[in-house]
Amino acid sequence: MDKEQLEEALKVIKEPITVNCVEYKYFDVNNYNKLINIIEYCQYLNANVKPYVESQDREIQKLKNNWNELEEWLEYEERHTMQQNNYHSVLDKMKEIKGDK
């Protein structure tokens, strides 16, 4: 649920119930208040936690990009220098950590 849907649900729950029949179901005040608290907590999470998670996802993507750039650089250097063994061992270790082996 997004913020607008949560606000609409909260508005609907806070409206009084009109009874047109003999048999009906309703929330008692305690359950009603619990439900409102849950919706307000969801609004809090949506406003505060979601941006944090999105920033962490961006940071993870940035680190993956850096890792890939380093891997590409090492592969290039390995092909164009005399220090192939050193680059090769670093590349092997990176691929092992990444799970490519």
Per-residue pLDDT tens over the stretch 11-68: 777 776 665 655 555 667 777 788 888 888 888 888 888 888 889 999 999 988 888 8
Q: pTM above the 0.75 mark?
A: no
Which of the four pLDDT bands, split at 50, 70 and 90, describes residue 100?
Answer: low
Query: Residue 49: what residue type?
Result: V
pLDDT at 11: 76
Rounded CA-CA distance 65/71 in Å is 10
Sequence-ordered list of residues with C-beta below 8 angstroms from that of 3, at least 6 positions apart, any chain? 43, 46, 47
Mean pLDDT confidence for 76-96? 74
pLDDT at 7: 75
Question: Is the pLDDT score of 72 beyond 90?
Answer: no
- How many domains does the chain contain in total? 1
Residue 28 belongs to what H/E stretch? none
pLDDT at 62: 92
Domain range for 82 is 3-98
